[in-house]
């Protein structure tokens, strides 16, 4: 049996604030990925890629951590319902694909290459995150 946090879901402002924290984490994550993607695609050529990537990816990691922790807490308020939800299942699958995409991007040293594959992987990453966000919103309506 999966433990639940029923009190969190029932509290009049705790769950809505947790959603705000989740959105802030997503904003930090996606905003900085888009910034890095723009540089990979050739915008801002005067900005050195390596220092920008270090800063951007550090903020991405913070954003992901905030989103993951808040998401886990939200999940724990109704785990069985979410596990049976198609939008949640798709969101988790897309998160796995996004992690694989990021792993491939970094394993092939795309930031040093800035080639067509790097550009495709960065664009794929942004599209995957937009789909993940979409699925997250659909959980409430689907």
Give the model confidence (pLDDT) of 112-142 as tens digits.
Answer: 999 999 999 999 999 999 999 999 999 988 7
Residue 52 in this model has a pLDDT that exceeds 70: yes
CA distances for 101 relative to 25, 82, 104, 117, angstroms: 20, 25, 5, 11
Residue 38 in this model has a pLDDT that exceeds 60: yes
Residue 3's pLDDT band (boundaries 50, 70, 90)?
Answer: low
Q: State pLDDT tens for residues 65-121.
A: 999 999 999 999 999 999 999 999 999 999 999 999 999 999 999 999 999 999 999
Percent of the chain with pLDDT over 70: 94
Q: State pLDDT tens for residues 17-28.
A: 999 999 999 999
pLDDT given for residue 14 in this prediction: 87
15 against 8, higher pLDDT: 15
């Amino acid at each position: 049996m999966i433990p639940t946090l029923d009190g969190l879901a029932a509290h009049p402002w705790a769950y809505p604030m947790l959603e705000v924290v989740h959105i802030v984490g997503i904003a930090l994550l996606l905003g900085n990925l888009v910034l890095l993607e723009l540089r990979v695609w050739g915008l801002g050529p005067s900005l050195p890629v390596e220092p920008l990537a270090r800063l951007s990816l550090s903020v991405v990691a913070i954003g992901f951590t905030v989103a993951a922790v808040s998401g886990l807490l939200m999940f724990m308020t109704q785990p069985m319902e979410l596990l049976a939800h198609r939008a949640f299942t798709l969101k988790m699958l897309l998160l796995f694909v996004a992690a694989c995409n990021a792993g491939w991007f970094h394993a092939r040293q795309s930031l040093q290459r800035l080639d067509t594959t790097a550009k495709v992987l960065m664009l794929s990453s942004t599209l995957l995150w937009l789909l993940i966000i979409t699925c997250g919103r659909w959980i409430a309506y689907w």
